[in-house]
């Protein structure tokens, strides 16, 4: 679905630009490094004013190998995720053997879901169940097609387009239905539309992958090849009608509340009533159509495509969604193709897959024992104090913004004061009682989990928004700002070293986790988030003068990142990454100011921070950079340059610090240093 969530998840690290001549910077003295910082990760021989990422992460990058089963490895997100997965595995192994923590309501479902996933012998027997489902995917006419597509959508499989629930952009208190573009097998529409050699080679590999999958289903090779070409033809038509990722960053582009009658008028050749009935949404009338021209194309395809073309396309969508529950040959084929996109050397171990699938399906049930093991009251209290300190820093900073007039400043103040802070885990756990799980069949378990989730989404339509709902499971290593809820959310999964370390100094924690907090707060005021008011409604609360001044400032950020290289000949897309770059810049500035305010009133924390070879401000920036030390495989870096709204970690570190006088002062950088942008080019938004 079209989502307004903004997350902190990283993008790839490009190869460093030509290494500048190093200017050795010996430590100021022999005092130890601050708790929370990693001396082994640093290259202290590099000049922080010339390449700060190299200074903070150089030895980590030099000495770290990406695990064979991963497309990337980071000192922050991935290292924490791996630790979390070990804990979740231990929990699930026990639950699947009947050793569940006392009082865990969904223990049986957790154990059966994970147990069925781990029973690889039974996966080999899944084809009869699959073939029985595939036999239903025939469409002789548009009415048949609408019925089959609706039936698949009810199972959380989305050929042609996506359907679910979303907040009404203009009334954030209500949930309405939404239909959105979709139906593609490759990560982005651009993969279908570009004519460069790499894109053509990837499409060829994709056709081969689809063909091989049909062969595994029992089709003769010649028939399978034709089926694969047919699939690509449908997907290419859908890609051509799709909005780009940059276009979808503009909220107004995604809001067209036409209702069901309006959709039927827009694309009358598609049997919408038949579709909604089959999708389990027969009574839904309130409807946002995210991109009306896309559904004109859906109508055209339904009317003009030969009936024989739909069976391969629908089959491919169904099988592709079910691969984790199919025999090993299907999974091996999926991995073989995925290497084109990720560069991973080995497939992920089965237990890791099963932990991830269980977290996706039953995340709030699995979270309960996870929380007990990993997240104490101290972590929640300290994080909340940090959040509140940074929100105060935002308020103080508003008074310094000469470009913003009083009327707009007052509205911004109202909005930041109404931000809801969610930390650790929900106050109320999700009820999974209606989910069907089968210990004897992981395929049936996945089907049951998918159907449960889609039914849960459909049931929201026409009801008030549930402001207590979380959009990530608590073990997830991430964070987000959600504009329609005007909330920032920090799952317990991310509140661990190196982002949050109980033993670290205050500056290190503010540089790592505090920056993430400031980042998410700033998302409420980036080029997308600023279009929503304090109540979460899409409403223009800016005066023309402040609006013009804001646009000028974010244009500076776009231009800055347009000039950076993601990898090889691939440049960053400053428009795609604009919101995240603005949030990084604002997050660092706000968190640094909050750290200074904290130390000014906490003498003990200030004294502890001073007992290090680096000053508090230096600790802050090193703590920030070290939470982003990362390495990426080239294929994955290329993919994320196309699809990821985040800049690569190298530029997430070196990009914003060049705009901050606080960084220049902390490391006493000269005005002509590479990490100091000339005054005329310096970007500042918040």
Catalytic center residues: 520, 584
54 in Cβ contact with 651 (< 8 Å): no
What gap in Å lies between CA 194 and CA 235, rounded to an integer?
14
CA 525, distance to chain mean position in Å, is 19
What letter would DSSP give residue 283? T
Q: Helix axis angle, 649-657 relative to 52-63, nearest 10°?
A: 160
**Long-range pairs, 548-555, Cβ under 8 A, ≥24:** 549/403, 549/404, 550/403, 550/404, 550/685, 553/403, 553/683, 553/684, 553/685, 554/526, 554/527, 554/578, 554/582, 554/685
At residue 300, the 3 state secondary structure works out as: helix
**Nearest partner of 673 among 48, 42, 34, 43, judged by Cα:** 48
What gap in Å lies between CA 296 and CA 312, rounded to an integer?
22
What gap in Å lies between CA 55 and CA 48, rounded to an integer?
5
In the numeric block, which tokens belong to residue 38? 């990693």
What gap in Å lies between CA 425 and CA 296, rounded to an integer?
42
In the numeric block, which tokens belong to residue 137? 């995917």
What letter would DSSP give residue 611? S
- Please work out, in degrees rounded to the nearest 5, the angle formed at the alpha carbon of residue 335 by the alpha carbons of 449 and 236: 80
- The DSSP secondary structure of 30-76, one letter per residue, reads SPPPPTT--GGG--TTS-TTT-HHHHHHHHHHHHPPPPTT-SEEETT
- Specify which residues 176 forms β-bridges with: 166
Which residues neighbour 518 within 8 Å (Cβ) at sequence distance 6 or greater? Answer: 390, 393, 394, 586, 587, 588, 589, 590, 591, 594
Q: Where would I find the H helices in 119-220?
A: 120-123, 127-134, 142-154, 190-193, 197-216
At residue 478, the 3 state secondary structure works out as: coil
What gap in Å lies between CA 464 and CA 479, rounded to an integer?
24
Which residues neighbour 83 within 8 Å (Cβ) at sequence distance 6 or greater? Answer: 496
CA 486, distance to chain mean position in Å, is 18
365 in Cβ contact with 110 (< 8 Å): yes
In the numeric block, which tokens belong to residue 88? 């979740």
72 in Cβ contact with 631 (< 8 Å): yes
**Cα distances (Å, whole numbers) of residue 383 to 428, 510, 516, 573, 589:** 20, 10, 11, 33, 18
């Amino acid at each position: 679905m079209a989502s307004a969530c903004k997350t902190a998840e990283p993008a790839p690290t490009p190869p460093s630009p030509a290494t500048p001549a190093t200017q050795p910077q010996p430590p100021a003295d022999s005092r130890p490094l601050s708790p929370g910082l990693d001396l082994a990760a640093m290259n202290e021989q590099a000049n922080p004013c010339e390449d700060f990422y190299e200074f903070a992460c150089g030895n980590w990058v030099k000495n770290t190998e990406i695990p064979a089963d991963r497309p990337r490895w980071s000192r922050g997100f991935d290292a924490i995720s791996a630790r979390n997965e070990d804990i979740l595995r231990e929990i699930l192994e026990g639950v699947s053997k009947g050793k569940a923590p006392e009082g865990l309501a969904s223990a049986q479902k957790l154990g059966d879901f994970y147990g069925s996933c781990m029973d690889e012998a039974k996966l080999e027997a899944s084809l009869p169940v699959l073939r029985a489902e595939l036999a239903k995917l025939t469409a002789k006419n548009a009415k048949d097609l609408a019925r089959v597509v609706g039936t698949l959508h009810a199972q959380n499989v989305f050929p042609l387009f996506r359907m679910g629930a979303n907040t009404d952009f203009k009334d954030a208190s209500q949930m309405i239905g939404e239909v959105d573009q979709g139906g593609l097998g490759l990560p982005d529409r651009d993969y279908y539309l570009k004519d460069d050699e790499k894109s053509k080679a990837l499409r060829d590999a994709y056709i081969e992958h689809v063909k091989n999958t049909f062969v595994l289903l029992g089709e003769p090779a010649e028939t399978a090849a034709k089926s694969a070409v047919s699939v690509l033809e449908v997907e290419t038509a859908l890609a051509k009608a799709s909005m780009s990722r940059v276009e979808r960053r503009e909220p107004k582009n995604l809001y067209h509340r036409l209702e069901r009658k309006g959709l039927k008028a827009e694309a009358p050749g598609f049997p919408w009533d038949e579709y909604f009935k089959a999708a389990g949404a027969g009574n839904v009338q309130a409807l946002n159509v995210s991109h009306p021209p896309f559904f004109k194309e859906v109508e055209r395809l339904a009317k003009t495509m030969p009936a024989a073309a739909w069976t391969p396309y629908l089959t491919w969508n169904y099988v592709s969604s079910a691969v984790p529950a199919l025999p090993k040959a299907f999974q091996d084929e999926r991995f073989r193709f995925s290497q084109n996109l990720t560069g991973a050397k080995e497939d992920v171990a089965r237990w890791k897959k099963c932990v991830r699938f269980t977290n996706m399906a039953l995340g709030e049930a699995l979270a309960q024992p996870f929380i007990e093991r990993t997240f104490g009251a101290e972590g929640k209290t300290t994080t909340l104090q940090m959040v509140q300190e940074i929100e105060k820093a935002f308020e103080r900073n508003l008074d310094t913004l000469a470009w913003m007039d009083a009327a707009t400043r007052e509205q911004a103040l109202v909005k930041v004061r109404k931000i809801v802070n969610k930390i650790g885990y929900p106050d109320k756990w999700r009820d999974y009682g209606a989910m069907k799980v089968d210990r004897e069949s992981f395929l049936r378990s996945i089907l049951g989990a998918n159907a449960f989730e889609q039914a849960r989404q459909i049931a929201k339509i026409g009801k008030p928004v549930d402001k207590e709902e979380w959009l990530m499971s608590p073990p997830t290593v991430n964070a987000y700002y959600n504009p329609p809820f005007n909330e920032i959310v920090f799952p317990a999964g991310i509140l661990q070293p190196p982002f949050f370390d109980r033993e670290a100094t205050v500056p290190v924690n503010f540089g790592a986790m505090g920056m993430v907090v400031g980042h998410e707060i700033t998302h409420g005021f980036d080029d997308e988030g600023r279009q929503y008011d304090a109540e979460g409604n899409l409403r223009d609360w800016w005066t023309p003068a402040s609006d013009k001044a804001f646009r000028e400032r974010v244009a500076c950020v776009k231009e800055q990142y347009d000039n950076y290289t993601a990898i090889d000949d691939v440049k960053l897309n400053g428009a795609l990454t604009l919101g995240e770059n603005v949030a990084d810049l604002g997050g660092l500035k706000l968190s640094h100011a909050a750290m200074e305010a904290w130390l000014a009133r906490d003498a003990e924390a200030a004294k502890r921070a001073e007992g290090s070879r680096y000053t508090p401000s230096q600790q802050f920036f090193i703590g920030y950079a070290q939470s982003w030390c990362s390495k990426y495989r080239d294929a994955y870096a290329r993919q994320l340059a196309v699809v990821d709204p985040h800049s690569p970690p190298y530029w997430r570190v070196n990009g914003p610090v060049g705009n901050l006088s606080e960084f220049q002062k902390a490391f006493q950088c000269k005005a002509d240093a590479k990490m100091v942008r000339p005054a005329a080019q310096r970007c500042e938004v918040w």
